[in-house]
Amino acid sequence: MTKGNINVSVENIFPLIKKFLYSDHEIFLRELVSNATDATLKLKHLTNIGDAKVEYGNPVIEVKIDKEGKKLHIIDQGLGMTADEVEKYINQVAFSGAEEFLDKYKDSAKDSGIIGHFGLGFYSAFMVAEKVEIITKSFKDEPAAHWTCDGSPEFTLEASDKTDRGSEIILHIAEDSTEFLEESRISELLYKYNKFMPVSIKFGTKEINDPEHTPETTTDKDGKETTEPHRKITVDNIINNPNPAWTKQPADLKDEDYSAFYRELYPMQMEEPLFNIHLNVDYPFNLTGILYFPKMSNDMQIQKDKIQLYQNQVYVTDNVEGIVPEFLTMLRGVIDSPDIPLNVSRSYLQADGAVKKISSYITRKVADKLKSLFNSNREDFEAKWNDIKIVIEYGMLSEDKFFEKSEAFTLYPTVDGKYYTYDELFNKIKANQTDKDGKLVILYASNADAQHSYIESAKAKDYEVLLLDSPIVSHLIQKLESTKENITFARVDGDHVNNLIKKDETTISKLDEEQTKTLDELLKSVIPSDKFQVQLEAMDSTETPFTITQPEFMRRMKEMQASGGGGMQMFGNMPEMYNVIVNTNSKLVSDILATEAKEDKDRLITQSLDLARLSQGLLKGEELTNFIKRSYEMIK
């Protein structure tokens, strides 16, 4: 038997491991199962190239709980180690960087990116174990070895009578970590970290119906049928899928395969995804994966953290910001890259060049897929537009390269349910919606029902009105106005339609200068100036007498602030201001001027204003109650 000290120049590294890695203590199981997987796959490679003269077979990694003995076993059938290799890989390599480790992490206990640094993967076992044993037999014709360490730098290494190839790690679970002796806890961790590992993982057994047994059905004398119960058999409980869909070639997968994998990833998700994007690149970095577009709502607080990051089929995290562009973190699916380490951390992601290339690749791949879907079946793409637009619009705002590509598939829907690309829209409206200064005015509504009367006024002039109702529309149209030449967006209720698209022709007012002045003073004496600005306009006599609008600039700034526009806080305390556009050619205005009693004039103005406010949803509470009461009185 050999005794010795682990090659480490500090008095006791193990308490430090426990202290620094405590917040991530559950990942010890990920590390040990990953090591077992590596040992198994290395043996497969050696047998394939002829360097290992053994039968590879169909190896399994087994995880076992010995609750009574307070032990957890991880057993593999991989290449194993000789005594010399245990000395080299466990005692020396693991702590050759111990001093560097201490220097790097002594002030950063919260850093979770330690696992994997300086060979600490195996030693994460000491976060939960007071003693660890390794019993291992190499695929080479050499004696088995038994290594034991009790959490101090001292170890023992002796011969073992193990005869089967591979390694068994035995963790003597510490008193403060007995949760890892619970079957439910270990099962949870295996499903979380290892459910797609490339080697089958056994955790206990389960009963299933015997596939070779067909239950017999018998009929008694009264004609009643009875079917015998299924015969049960006990089989290994394999908790993982070693060949998940993303590891296969797209040509080998059908739509139903992608759907089945989606349900495997998200068993509680009832809705099917709209479509998927298969990622597969091996230069200048390695990346595979499948991203799914779920049905989206306009809620910007939608649940993120639905994309799972793997390294060689080992689960790393579901926080993929920095790897996946932010606008795509609303998607679901899997990304797997050996170029992203298991100890992934924020600082690493910000500095690593490969990660930036991965992000750019994913952006390009998603844009190419959207373009392909649009070109191959535009009708279907239009049908899905409302479910995917929030991701596309967010991408247009946040990623310039995506914005450039998006012109090929971004749609602009109208209130009538038609869909245009930008070029189609431009060509459709440029003749009719160019104002007297030569600027193209793109009209839009955010709520077709609430803005119905304004939409109808615009349609009466054969203007096209878009329906742009996402919460980031104010940011988006600002971006479009700054990148497209000589265009402006105007919400259809931002002003009277004649003012939204000003033409050369003018309408003559029926009122003379004196009447206009009288009307202006009368209106301003009744309409509160802290909320409304009176605006007299000469329009067709059939147009609405009183119209309420909100100035485009002010409304847009408030919307941008509400949806997270940086620097917009200055508008937060400004009062809501509206314009009251009064049609001087309407019969109602003539009637107001012709009414003799001041009280009756005021009542007509108040009633007209309240009608306009009602149409905009601005009449509420006591004012609405008074309006209804007053309206009944007028009917009498």
Is 31 assigned to a binding site? yes
Output DSSP code: residue 634.
H
Answer whether the bond into residue 284 is a cis peptide, omega within 30°.
Answer: yes
Range 292-327 burial, b when 16+ CB lie within 10 A, else e: bbbebeeeeeeebebbbbbbbbbbbbebbbbbbbeb
CB 309 within 8 A of CB 320: yes
50 is in an annotated binding site: no
Q: Which helix (H) or strand (E) holds 277?
A: strand 275-281
- Beta bridge mates, 290: 278, 334
Count CB atoms within 10 A of the CB of residue 191: 13
Report the alpha-carbon distance of residue 311 to residue 440 in Å, rounded.
51
Cβ proximity of 163 and 143 under 8 Å:
no
**What is the β-pairing status of strands 412-413 and 307-311?**
unpaired
* 270 annotated to bind ligand: no
Phi, psi at 421, each rounded to 5°: -75, 170
Strands 487-491 and 440-445: parallel
CA 287, CA 303: separation in Å to the nearest integer?
25
Token pair of 317 as six digits: 């995290």
Do the Cβ atoms of 95 and 119 come closer than 8 Å? yes
88 touches 3 (CB < 8 A)? no
SS (H, E, C) 466-522: EECCCCCHHHHHHHHHHHCCCEEEEECCCCCHHHHCCCCCCCCCCCCHHHHHHHHHH
396 is in an annotated binding site: no
In angstroms, the CA 34 to CA 316 distance is 11
Residue 96 is labelled as binding a ligand: yes
Strand 71-75's sheet: what is its strand order? Answer: 2-5, 154-160, 144-149, 129-137, 166-173, 71-75, 61-66, 201-209, 232-238
User: What span, in angstroms and rounded, lies between the C-alpha atoms of 157 and 146?
Assistant: 6
Annotated binding site for ATP: 31, 35, 76, 81, 96-97, 346
